[in-house]
Amino acid sequence: MLALNSLDKSNRLAGFSGNQALGALRVAGTVDVVSVVYVWTLRGSGTLRVESGARFYYVNTSGWTGTVTGSGLFQQVPVVVGGLEIEAGNSVKLSWPSGAGLTFDVDWAENLMSINGFISITNVLGSGTNDTWTDIGGLGRPHPGVATQRFYRLKVWP
């Protein structure tokens, strides 16, 4: 699956900016990377040729058995929460860079030593730019304004 009209007839990936990202890229044959590209999941068995000066960033390569050639940068990057804000009424808003069509699992814990560990709160379908979720309490967890501490974890599923 390709998004953002970034693949032309010569199999050249280009044209990404900001937090735009492909949800998943399946490589068959040879694909030339000619600029900055962000990919959540790389799959397939083809060749990814990263040209000099180009940069290819990815989150995971499960399901990919291909090869990388060229002198450009091929680098794994972690999924991180890009922002945490305390809003009016002491709700907590999380934000992160997203991948279109991916599912993000938001988990929480009262403390890191809990035998229950992290508990899933919700799933957010990725938009492809930035996604947000606001914790207002509920589903067995108190409102953040009355909690003494709270920990969040974000997981991504292709």
The CATH number of whichever domain residue 88 belongs to comes to 2.60.40
Q: Could you list the mean pLDDT of each consecutive 10-residue stretch along the chain, which spans 158 residues? A: 35 52 74 80 86 84 88 80 86 84 84 82 83 89 90 79
CA 96 – CA 113 distance, rounded (Å): 25
pTM: 0.55
The pLDDT score that the predictor gives to residue 70 is: 94
Q: Which residue range(s) make up the domain with 31?
A: 12-76
Task: Based on the fold, state whether residues 57 and 87 are members of the same structural domain.
Answer: no
Which residues have C-beta within 8 Å of that of residue 20, sequence separation ≥ 6? 4, 38, 128, 129
The pLDDT score that the predictor gives to residue 82 is: 77
- Coil, strand or helix at 64: strand
The pLDDT score that the predictor gives to residue 71 is: 94
Residue 48 resides in a domain: yes
Residue 131 resides in a domain: yes
CA 26 – CA 84 distance, rounded (Å): 33
- Count of domains observed in the chain: 2
